[in-house]
Structure 1
């Protein structure tokens, strides 16, 4: 499989699992504290990823990683944790059919941040797609 097909396959897997996350998360936070639910989810993720890294023999010495990798991975982890806390609370308060699409507004935000901070190049399909995501999110959230 070429590089394009490979990233696309993983991106589709991410979308599928994100959809399942919404459904299972909504069912899981019913009647319990959203922060506790996020903590439980985090522990399970740590165990699953540690198992995968062990199974694939991908452990390496963290001290050998460059400082900027550490910095951005820590910042990414903080952003992920805050996202999850907000997401689970939103699932407690609102319907999955509205919460999940609004959460996916992150796609349009990521496009803008990629253009501004990473120097990615805009294209007509990218701008149209991002605009449609924004429009769809607004329609779902507001009506």
Structure 2
């Protein structure tokens, strides 16, 4: 319940209370095009929660592999939240051909509406590895775990 004259902090009492709001929590390490592309992909997938826009953005091979119903949730949040809080980072590695791989490790807190209209918080841990190639941003690997907030 919101305090009189105030707005309820949907994340009060959770670890997400101090996390960045939405896209502000996804910061690239540099202005390198690979990092900027990964940021854009994460915003589409986890903040905007827009599967179609995410799939349009990534390389064709990633669309074919991760666009299937069984794998899409490993990359895209499919429920539209009231609000998103974000904590995490990007870091870099190289593949066997010495090409940049942008690795991500983020936690997302989603304030969702229950069927009865009451809010709830769900936490999602999402790790994904990306590589910017000639045909676009390629997803190399992705894992996601979800747990209820509290």
Question: How high is the TM-score relative to the length of structure 1?
Answer: 0.23
Q: Report the structure number with the largest CA radius of gyration.
A: 1
Q: More relative contact order in 1 or in 2 (CA 8 Å, sep 6+)?
A: 1
Question: How high is the TM-score relative to the length of structure 2?
Answer: 0.23
